[in-house]
Structure 1
Amino acid sequence: MDKKNIRKQIIGLLKNKNHKSYYEHKLYKKLFNSLEWKNSDSIAITISLKFEIDTRPIIRKAFLDNKEVFVPKVISKEEMVFINCTEDTKFKKSSFDIYEPLFTFKANISDIDLLIVPGLAFSLDNNRLGFGGGFYDRILKKYNGYTLSLCFKEQIYQKALWKVDDFDQKVKRIIY
């Protein structure tokens, strides 16, 4: 199956997921109990789309745990940066329909301990199928900290059903 069709199929599944908040809370608990979370003073995470796992509770917990929070902002077709956010940071919906911080001071990627990577589909050997822009693949290629993704069981495949290209980057852990 090609990447485009798998993306469409997974988005359809996620939009119709029953008891979504119940499964999200189970994922949050696993994340907050993970060594990656406990050993990180800073996290990078997207503001989720409606059909994705809601990241707002994760961001709130990070602030409660006194972690620095970084949210991505797309600068160009080829560049995404992370912005250090506070509870007062203002956000604006981008052309990708994603909320991004208005502030444009970019952080150094090496200042981030844990990168929570979004994706639509994952294989048990930690391959991920993103949204198709390659932004996270470019970041992951040069990032040395903890990386993990959160997903529902419906997003997990025994092996990648999509073509894994040379530029595709794996995450170190998948929590599902």
Structure 2
Amino acid sequence: MTKKAWRNEIVQALHTLDPNIKQSAEAALYTKLFETAYWQSSRTIGITLSTELELATGPIIEQATLDHKQVVIPKTLPNWQMAFYPFTETTELAPTKFGIQEPITGDPVDKSDIDLIVVPGLGFTPNGFRLGFGGGYYDRFLADYSGTTVVLALPVQTFEQPEWPVKNHDIVIDHVLTV
């Protein structure tokens, strides 16, 4: 199957996932993340503002704030580029054509200042292969990123091996947390 076909299948599985199972899996994944050394040592966390389909990132953002970490969120730029901007209570947001809330105020944070990025996606393997949403924004951003990357994979997003075609430009994620 093509990447597009796999994306459609996983999106369908996420839409039909029992909300109680999703919520329970999310809680377990948050606990795992917060116990890791890379979470505890990080000062600046890159993370998206999730849509209803995705693992809810609000609790991660709340914990980062409680832990006195800086939260930065991505903004898509021309030519499939991306930058991260500080996310505070004064950050102004606007929806993109993808339906994702992005910052419209503030100045970008240097990539080297981001310790940990919680990477979104649709499919993940234990050894770090990731099927993203198809824009290539994260693969381009992560190509020269030297910090730590992690994904939190719900059960319907976890595959033993990549079932989708893997390309040379696909970036492998450092840590894949599963339940």
Range of TM-score over shorter length:
over 0.9
Between the aligned partners of 1:63 and 1:74, the Cα distance in structure 2 is: 24
Indicate the percent of aligned positions where both proteins have the same amino acid.
Answer: 39
Match of 2:7 in 1: 7
TM-score relative to the length of structure 1: 0.96
TM-score relative to the length of structure 2: 0.95
Q: 5+ unaligned residues in a row in structure 2: which ranges?
A: none
Within 5 Å, give how 1:8-157 maps onto structure 2: 8-18=8-18, 19=20, 20-157=22-159
Between the aligned partners of 2:108 and 2:133, the Cα distance in structure 1 is: 22
Between the aligned partners of 1:5 and 1:31, the Cα distance in structure 2 is: 30
- CA deviations 1:62-118 (Å, max 9, x no partner) are 111100010000111421110012133221111111001121511111000001100
Shift of 1:28: 0.7
Between the aligned partners of 1:49 and 1:13, the Cα distance in structure 2 is: 15
- CA deviations 1:46-66 (Å, max 9, x no partner) are 001101000011111111110
The code of the aligned residue for 2:116 comes to L
The code of the aligned residue for 2:12 comes to G
Q: SS of the residue aligned with 1:115?
A: strand
The code of the aligned residue for 2:7 comes to R
Between the aligned partners of 2:28 and 2:86, the Cα distance in structure 1 is: 27
Question: What is the total number of aligned residue pairs between the two structures?
Answer: 176
- List structure 1 runs of 4+ shifted beyond 4 angstroms: none
1:160 to 128, 138, 162: 162
For the aligned residue pairs, the C-alpha RMSD in angstroms reads: 1.0
Between the aligned partners of 2:27 and 2:51, the Cα distance in structure 1 is: 17
Between the aligned partners of 1:104 and 1:131, the Cα distance in structure 2 is: 26
Between the aligned partners of 1:86 and 1:66, the Cα distance in structure 2 is: 12
Between the aligned partners of 2:79 and 2:50, the Cα distance in structure 1 is: 20
